[in-house]
Chains A and B, each alone.
Chain A
Amino acid sequence: MANPTELHFDCGTLVVPVLPDDARLLALFQKDGRTGVYRAPAWHYRDVVLRLRELGLPYEDKAKRFEPLELALTSPINPFPHQRAALDAWTRAGGRGLVELPTGAGKTLLAVLAIAHVKRPTLVVVPTLDLMAQWQGVLSRHFSVPVGLLGGGVSDRQPLTVTTYDSAALQTEFHGNRFGLLICDECHHLPAPSYRFVAEGSLAPYRLGLTATLERTDGGERVCEELLGPRVHRSDIRELQGEYLAPYEVKRVEVPLTPDEKARYDAARALYVGFVRRLGVQLSAPDGWARFLAQSQRSDEGRAAYRAYREQRRIALTSSAKQEVLWRILLEHREDRVLVFTDDNETVYTLARRLLLPALTHHTPVPERKALLAAFASGELPVLLTSRVLNEGVDVPDARVGVVLSGSGSVREHVQRLGRILRKRPGKRALLYEVCSAQTAESGISERRRQHGAYQGEA
C-alpha cells in the first residue's frame, strides 16, 4: 500500500513531498524545482483536504497545529435579527465569507457567535492596538479561556488570539498553521499588498471577514472574496438607524482664514503647486505623491516646495478660526462626550497642549489608551483628541458628538469616524461637525467625503 500523502506547512505555504496523481490536486499545487516538492499557498489547505477525502486517499496531516476546542459561551447570547441572519448565511456558506454591517451593528458579537459555532482555535486580526485591546476584552467576557495578544510589544499566543494586521503580516509564516478560524475585522484592509499574506499564508479552513465598508476604489473587494469567501450578508446603515443605531445629524461649518493666514496660505500654496506643475506630476496618479516627494528632496527649489506644502497644510488645518470654532463646540457640548478628529499627530499635540485636553495617538501606550477610553466612558475626561487611531471599530458608545477638524478625502475614513458616535443609547441623537477652511484645498477634500449615503442625515 502506498505511503499516505503528507501535508506540511512551510513559512506560509503548503508542501507535499509526494503528490497523488490527480488533476484537481495537481492544479492546486506547483512543482517546486528548487526543493523538489509540491508547493501551494497555505490557503489552499481546505480544498486540498476536501479533495483527498473525496478521493478516499489516506493522508497524514503534519501541516495543521490545531484541533477542535471546547468553547462554551459564559452566558447565552440573544442576537439581533440581522446578526442571526448574518451567522446563518455564513454557516450555510461552509464557514467562509464576508459580512458587511454598519459600525455599531454588533460585528464583534457576530464573531463571538461564529467562534462558538466553529469551536476551533481562532485568530482575530484588527487594524489598531486599541481594537486589539477591545476585542480581547469582549472575547474574555464571552469565553472562559485566556485570550492572547500579539502586537504592541505583547507576544502571548493562545488558542484564541487577537493581533493587528501589521503583526500578523510578520508572524503568519510562523503561526499560519495554528488557527482553524481566521477572522479579519475591518477586512477592507486585507487587500493591501503588505497585508494580503495574512490570509494567503494561513491554513485556516474557516474564515470570516467583517467590515462596514467593503467597497474599495481599487476593486480590492475581489481579493477579500477570494481569500475569505463571498459576501454572505449585508445590512445598510439606513436599515438599522434608529432601531439599532443612534439617529444622527451632520453639520458642516466652513470657516474663513484671517487675511494674514490667507496671504501666507496663498503664497505657500503657489510655491508648492508651481513646483508640482513644472515637474509635470499628476498628484492624483497612483505614484504622483511618491514622485513629488522624491523630486522635492533633490534640489533647494524642491525642498522649498515641500516646506511650502507643509506650511499651507498647517495653516488650513489649524487656522485660528478653526480653533475658535472648536472652542465654541467644546463649550456648547461641555456636558457631552466629544471626539475630535484631526489628520496628523502634530495638530493633536498642539491642541492638547493649548487646551490641556487628552490626546490619543499611536504614541499612546496600550495601558494609557485603555485608561483614557475608560475615563471618557465614565465622563471623567469628556473630550478626546485623536488623529486616526480611533477611526475604526473602537467602541466609544458614550460619544455623542464628533468633530472632524481635518482629514483626508476618504469616504471610508469619514464613515468610520461617523460610526464612532453612532452607538445606540436611549434618547441619544448623534451629531457630527465637519469644520473646514473655506477657500482652501480642504473644502474640496470635504466635498469628496460627502459622496456617501451616510450623508442623507445631513442638516
Chain B
Amino acid sequence: MLTRELLNFRVREGMLRPAFVKRTDAALLALAGELLAEVEASRGARLDDLEESLGLKAGAFTRPKVARGLVKLLLDRLLFDEPSPGVGEARWERLKAAARVLRALPPDATVESYEARLAEALPVPLPEAREALYADLPGNRRLVGWDGEPLGAQALVDRYNLALAQGPLLTARRLTLRALAPELLRVRKVLRWLKFCRLVAEVKRVGEDWTLDVEGPGAMLALQKKYGLQLASFLSVVPVLKHWELTATVETARTQATLALSDKDPLVSPLPTALGHVPEEVASLAEGFADDAWEVDLTPLPRHMGAAGLCVPDLTFRHRESRREVALELFHAWHARPLARRLEELRSRPDGGLLLGVDRALAKESGEREALEAHPQVVLFNGFPSARRLRERLARMVEGPGR
C-alpha cells in the first residue's frame, strides 16, 4: 500500500480520480527496471543505504512522486536480515563500562574529563564506540532478498496503479460494485475473496448485471471498527471481472468525495489467474433440463446461511409462472464437512429455497443415510442428480406446504 503523502489523485466536482499511470509508459517501465536492478545489486546492503540509492533514482525521475511510490511498494516486498547479536553484546559491555566510569567521577567533573576516562576504559576509540553503539537499529539491517515472489517491471507498475486506488479506499466504510453480465466463475472468485476479506455484501441482480454493496459485518452498527483495509484488499480481486464499475464514498484531507473506478482503468489483479471450473455435469444438466414449468439459471445469486455463512449455489431453478426460485447446491464425496456445516446452518436458519444435492458416498452409514433421505431439502444421487428426480422434487416443493 502507499502512504498518504504518496497517493496521487484529483478531486473535481465531488469525484475522486486516482492519477493512474499508463501500463505501457516506457519511461516508467524503464525506471521500474532500474529500481529492480538496483535491488538485485544491493543484496547485503544496509536498509538506509538502499533507501538512499533508490530515493536518489526516484528523485531524478521526471515524476518523483510516482517514482517514490514505486520505491515504497518495492521496499514493502523486501526481506532484511536480523541484527547481529554481537552488536548487542558489545553495547552491553560498553554501557556497563561507561556506568562504572560515571559512578567513579568526582563531583566537579566535566563532560570532557568523563570522555577522557571513557576513552581509557573502552577497548576501542570513543568515536568508534559511539558509531557502533546502536548499529543494530532497523536502518542498519541488510537486504536478504524478496519476501515472496520477485516482482517484474510490469507487475510493479500494475501494483502502483492498484495501490493508487486502494489508498483512498482505506477511508471508506463501504463500496458498491456493479458486475456487468459476469461469468459465474469470475463472480464466484470475487465472492470467495469477499469472504476471505471478512466482508459481507448485499447482492442484487438486475437482468444480467449484479450489484454488490460491500461492507464490514459491523458497519451497520455504531462501532468504531474500520474496514478500509479489508475493502482495499477486496479491490485486488475486482479486476478479475471483465466488465465492472465500482464506487465508494471516501474522505480526503478536507472533505468527502466519491471514488469511481471501472474496467476502463488500468487495474490488474495480482491474484492467481485460475478461476476453477463449472463441472461438466452442471452444464449438461442445464442443456438436458427441458421442463415446461421450470427454467435453469447458471448464475445463481449467493445465499446467506445460518449466522455468517455464504452459499454460492451451483444453479437456480426458476418457476416460469410464479418466478419462485429454488437453488441447488451439490455436495460430492469430498464435501463431508461442508455438508455438515450447511445442514447445521439450515437447522439454525431454515431456507426453503435451497435444495442440497448429496452424493450417496456421503451417506454410507445407515443413520446418516436415513437422516438424509428423510430431509425435505436433500436429494441423494449417484454421480449426479438426474433431471427426472430434480423435476419430481421441484414439483413437490411447489405443491408442498413450504410454498
Contact = CB atoms under 8 A, between A and B. Distances in A.
Of listed B5, B111, B138, B347, residue having the most chain A CB within 10 A: B111
Nearest to B133: A353
B348 A6 contact: yes
A41 B200 CA distance: 16
Chain B contact-residue range equals 35 or more
B130 A382 contact: no
Given A297-B5, A357-B98, A358-B95, A363 B221 contact: no
B202 A33 contact: yes
Of listed A34, A41, A330, residue having the most chain B CB within 10 A: A34
A383 to B, nearest CB: 7
Contacts of B88: 368
A327 interface: yes
Contacts, number: 135
Of listed B98, B105, B118, B225, residue having the most chain A CB within 10 A: B225
A216 to B, nearest CB: 15
Contact of A356 (B94, B306, B308): B94
A168 to B, nearest CB: 12
A108 B327 CA distance: 56
B206 interface: no
A17 interface: yes
Contacts of B215: 34
A18 B221 contact: no
Given A11-B218, A356-B133, A35 B304 contact: yes
Nearest to A37: B307
A12 B306 contact: no
Contact of B307 (A10, A291, A359, A363): A10
Given A34-B213, A331-B109, A352-B134, A201 B220 contact: no
A359 B99 CA distance: 13
Contacts of A193: 224, 226
Interface in A1-57: 3, 6, 8, 10-13, 15-18, 30, 32-37, 39-41
A353 B130 contact: yes
Contacts of B306: 8, 17
Nearest to A60: B348
A33 B92 CA distance: 61
Interface in B166-219: 198, 200-202, 213, 215-218
Interface string A181-199: 0000000000001101100
Interface string B120-161: 000000000111011001100000000000000000000000
Interface string B229-272: 00000000000000000000000010000000000000000000
A154 interface: no
B308 A15 contact: yes
Contact of B253 (A39, A290, A363): A290
A200 interface: yes
A251 B130 CA distance: 31
A35 B200 contact: yes
Nearest to B229: A170
Given A35-B308, A330-B102, 17 more contacts: A6-B307, A8-B308, A10-B307, A34-B202, A39-B220, A40-B221, A41-B221, A173-B198, A173-B225, A200-B223, A324-B111, A331-B102, A380-B99, A381-B95, A382-B102, A383-B99, A383-B102
Interface of B: 5, 88, 92, 94-96, 98-99, 102-103, 105, 107, 109-111, 114, 118, 129-131, 133-134, 137-138, 198, 200-202, 213, 215-218, 220-226, 253, 304, 306-308, 347-349
8 contacts: A12-B223, A18-B349, A30-B220, A173-B198, A193-B226, A331-B105, A371-B92, A382-B102
